């Protein structure tokens, strides 16, 4: 009998890509994208994913002209360029933005202290907005005035190259009763011409002069200073000395 043939050794050969794929890759070029801001990358109107700030992305493209767009709607950024890709070549697409915008703080209260992200940035003046250049993005803004009872925090978004506004107007109120009916003036302005013994007053936070008038029952107008607190109602009873 013939001896049995030794078993044939078989080995798995490494997988190879089709020749057409290797040839196509050699005929492509490389686009290196780097940005200091995060955004969505699109090439020829096709989305290619999200790029984190400070990271790079490598994309292989066929030779020719391509439209590359990096956008971030939240920061109001859109960087669009046309690039020329050569076979076997490397093209770099860099985006570097000075990410700043402006916040306008508008209020009817002078002397309001403004803090941004825990840092004091200024004080409001009467009727004039406070203009603050800030890095684009989200910020915590605190408005404070201890005398007028204001201390509140807001979250604001500042867009790249945009001017965003934070508007806060405040009013204080008084409910006043008197033992004699009077006409009422506030800061020299007539509020109630017909004499009353119960009335409400509304004014911006701060000090205002109240004047109560009754020429028949009072020897002279009664004057006193009232301090109005922001968004609060104060109650006061005024006892007047008649003739």
pLDDT tens, position by position, 187-224: 999 999 999 999 999 999 999 999 999 999 999 999 99
Instruction: Name residue 67's beta-bridge partners.
Output: 82
Say whether 100-168 and 22-95 share the same fold. Answer: yes
CB contact set of 19 (below 8 Å; sequence gap of 6+): none
Domain ranges of the chain: 22-95, 100-168, 172-238
Each residue of 62-92: pLDDT tens digit?
A: 999 999 999 998 877 899 999 999 999 999 9
The residue among 114, 103, 104, 108 whose CA lies nearest residue 145 is 114
Q: Which CATH superfamily is domain 172-238 in?
A: Carboxypeptidase-like, regulatory domain (2.60.40.1120)
Length of the chain: 243
CB neighbours (10 Å) of residue 93? 20
Q: Report how far apart, in Å, the C-alpha atoms of 231 and of each of 27, 115, 125, 171, 202 are.
A: 71, 21, 20, 5, 10
Q: Which CATH number fits domain 100-168: 1.10.490.20, 2.60.40.10, 3.40.50.970, 2.40.33.10?
A: 2.60.40.10
The residue among 223, 174, 231, 219 whose CA lies nearest residue 199 is 174
For residue 21, the surrounding DSSP H or E stretch is helix 19-26
**Is pLDDT of 9 > 60?**
no
User: What's residue 98's pLDDT?
Assistant: 81
Q: Which fold has domain 22-95?
A: Immunoglobulin-like (2.60.40)
């Amino acid at each position: 009998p013939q001896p049995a043939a030794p078993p044939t050794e078989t080995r798995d050969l490494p997988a190879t890509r089709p020749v057409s794929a290797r040839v196509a890759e050699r005929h492509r070029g490389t686009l290196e994208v780097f940005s200091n801001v995060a955004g969505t990358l699109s090439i020829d109107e096709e989305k290619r994913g999200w790029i984190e700030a400070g990271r790079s992305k490598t994309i292989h493209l066929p030779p020719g002209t391509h439209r590359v767009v990096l956008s971030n709607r939240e920061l109001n950024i859109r960087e669009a360029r046309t690039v020329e890709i050569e076979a076997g070549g490397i093209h770099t697409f860099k985006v570097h933005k000075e990410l700043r915008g402006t916040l306008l703080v508008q209020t009817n209260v002078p002397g309001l202290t403004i803090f941004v992200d825990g840092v004091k940035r200024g004080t409001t003046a009467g009727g004039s907005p406070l203009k603050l250049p800030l890095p684009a993005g989200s910020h915590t803004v605190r408005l404070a005035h201890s005398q007028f009872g204001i201390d509140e925090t807001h979250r604001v978004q500042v867009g790249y190259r945009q001017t965003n506004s934070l508007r806060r107007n405040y009013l204080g109120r008084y409910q006043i009763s008197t033992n004699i009916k009077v006409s009422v003036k506030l800061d020299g302005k007539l509020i109630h011409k017909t004499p009353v013994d119960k009335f409400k007053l509304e004014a911006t936070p701060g000090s205002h002069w109240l004047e109560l008038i009754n020429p028949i029952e009072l020897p002279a107008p009664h004057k006193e200073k009232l301090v109005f607190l922001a968004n609060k109602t104060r109650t006061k009873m005024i006892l007047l000395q008649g003739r």
